Amino acid sequence: MSILHALILGIIQGLTEFLPVSSSGHLELVKALFGDESLPKESLTFTVVLHFATALSTLVVFRKEVFEIFKGLFQFKWNEELIFSLKIILSMIPAVVIGVFFEEQLEALFNGRILFVGFMLLITAALLFLADRAKKTEKKVSYTNSFIIGISQAIAMLPGISRSGATISTSVLLGVDRERAARFSFLMVVPLIFGKIAKDIIGGEISFESTQISTLGVGFIAAFIAGLFACNWMIAIVKRSKLSYFAIYCLVIGLVAIGYKLFFS
């Protein structure tokens, strides 16, 4: 993989991790249009590094909240931070169940299925349109809401369904305050990312070679910086009810994907 390739992929990952356009869906479209050979052979290791970079950027953006959570947890008493942590754990359950028991079925969908991705992008667009028109409230995330949002995160494991788009839209449609919805959406995925990274490393599925250091480093930095920008930008977008712009984008890309598959493939 070239340095330029690593830079571009890092920027794309950093942006699409937070912007509601489905990074997995776009990856499948790239694979279908240009072939699997367009992706680097060391893609698994590279993907892990990029996900680590975006998870780290999330921790940086929400460093005050994360510090308060850990501070509250180590006080060993029932407090706001402990309650929030329990809600995060509750939201993780659906995705963990899907990842553990349906991993093979899920991976089968990541095989250049443009038609499927196109329809999933249309669903993402519909969710974003609905969320943008939802009534603004000051409601916090409840335990029940946490689990429902977690279900939407599990569904977003499908290529074409945006994780941030699905979880934020679900939160807003449940009446959760928009800024709290974005905050919860970004923080709830961090433990899953670190857990997946640990699983891959322990399982020996990824390995680092000295020849990869430069490309991995460039990709990491690009994803981290792009992630910082996209995370802050997305929070502002949600607060200002501007999700419709991304809904239009997903709608157009989805229709193009469907049309390409039906008429040109």
Closest CA to 152 of 140, 161, 144, 143: 161
* Confidence category of residue 41, pLDDT binned at 50, 70, 90: very low
Q: Specify whether the CB–CB gap between 178 and 172 falls below 8 A.
A: yes
| The residue type at 195 | G
Q: Computed over its alpha carbons, how large is the radius of gyration of the chain?
A: 18
What does the chain come to in residues?
Answer: 265
Strongest mean pLDDT among 32-41, 121-130, 177-186 = 121-130
Alpha-carbon gap, residue 205 to 86, rounded angstroms = 30
Which residue, among 8, 5, 17, has the nearest Cα to 57 in the 3D structure?
17
Percent of the chain with pLDDT over 90: 34
Q: Are 231 and 15 in contact (CB under 8 A)?
A: no
Highest mean pLDDT among 4-13, 138-147, 203-212: 138-147
**In sequence order, what DSSP letters do the residues of 94-140 get, joined into one string?**
HHHHHHHHSHHHHHHTTTT-HHHHHHHHHHHHHHHHHHHTSPP--BP
Please report which confidence band the pLDDT of residue 114 belongs to, taking 50, 70 and 90 as the band edges: confident
Please name the amino acid found at residue 10: G
Across 72-80, average pLDDT: 72
124 vs 109 pLDDT, higher one: 124
* pLDDT, tens digit, 9 for 90 and up, residues 14-31: 888 888 988 778 777 776
User: Where exactly are the structural domains of the chain?
Assistant: 3-263
